[in-house]
Amino acid sequence: MKKRILSLLLALPLALDACGAANEGELNGGELLSKVTQTNMNNALLEKYDSVSYDCNWYNEDGSWEMHSVDAITKDKIFYRTDEIVGEGLYEEGSLAEQTMSAYTSGTAPYQWVFPERDDFISTYQSKLESLVLMVVPEEKIESVTEEDSITTLVTSITKEVSEAQFGDASPEMRNGDRLCTEYRFDPETLEIQGMKMFLWREDGTKTVLSEGKMFYNVAPPKAPQTYKDAFDSAETVTLTLVFDPDTDSERTQTFEVTKGVATGVSRPEEYISMFADWECTQAYAQEGFMPEEDMTLYFVAGK
């Protein structure tokens, strides 16, 4: 269940003009959802706070606990994520300015990725950069808007058909008549989200919580595990130079400072199939996840 919902959240484009049934009050439900969405975009929140984080527990469809995660982003667009599952753990850290991501999963070696194309980095981590919690699609229906103890609760839903069309394999298992619901709890004055819940609302009226979490502002990002620190924090760096389409009008060069001796990947447009060790692009460098021990240069040519 976790992988489907996490994929859903990561792949989701945000829509600012959500529609919904009218509710009594100053704003109807759709207008309120639109304003909540705009208020809780990371760019808006980071104008006010140095950091934003979302602490969440995830559950299987039978109601059992599956994992705990923390997502955080800072004013300088460095984001963090931790996952904790029984016997497993993940920590990752990415920087928009440097277009890099480094990570560690328990039981495996630390690794790092570089992203020569800024748009590639942005699209890969779109949800982290845009918002940590929002999940808005145009077909959302407003189920209810209530206020209690100075907290407004807004519940939205989408049908099985919309969920499957929008998310494909990432959609949770639903039957006809079931709804996938999102419950936003926010301050009625600032509209800043305090917490969020996702749940399946079955046709028979039963509800199954899939995730539930809280937002925190101006708190320290999650701590990296010691294995990650050992690999990255005090290690030497080397310069990785990437040359695209050498000896052509499209030639361009980018450099990255990467950690010495850590498995490294290069995320690149699909037309650059292979990496090469020479300017003429005749000597294939086929080793993905290479571990640079000194400054090195790799070459790429479109179509090869």
pTM across the whole model: 0.80
Q: How does pLDDT run across 80-93, given as a tens digit for each residue? A: 888 776 556 788 99
Compute mean pLDDT per 10 residues along the chain, 304 residues long, and list them.
Answer: 41 38 48 90 94 92 87 89 73 91 86 92 84 77 91 92 83 87 94 95 92 94 84 87 94 94 91 92 86 94 90
Nearest to 136 by CA among 220, 13, 10, 6: 13
Q: Is 260 exposed, middle or buried (0-12, 13-18, 19+ CB in 10 A)?
A: middle
Fold of the domain built from segment(s) 2-217:
outer membrane lipoprotein receptor (LolB), chain A (2.50.20)
Correct CATH for 235-300 of 2.30.30.30, 1.10.10.10, 2.60.40.4270, 1.10.3720.10:
2.60.40.4270
What's the number of CA atoms in the CB half-sphere (13 Å) around residue 61?
13
Do 235-300 and 2-217 have the same topology in CATH?
no
Q: Give the pLDDT score at 4.
A: 40
In the chain, where are the structural domains located? 2-217, 235-300
Nearest to 251 by CA among 294, 289, 281, 282: 281
Contact between 211 and 184 under an 8 Å Cβ cutoff? The reply is: no
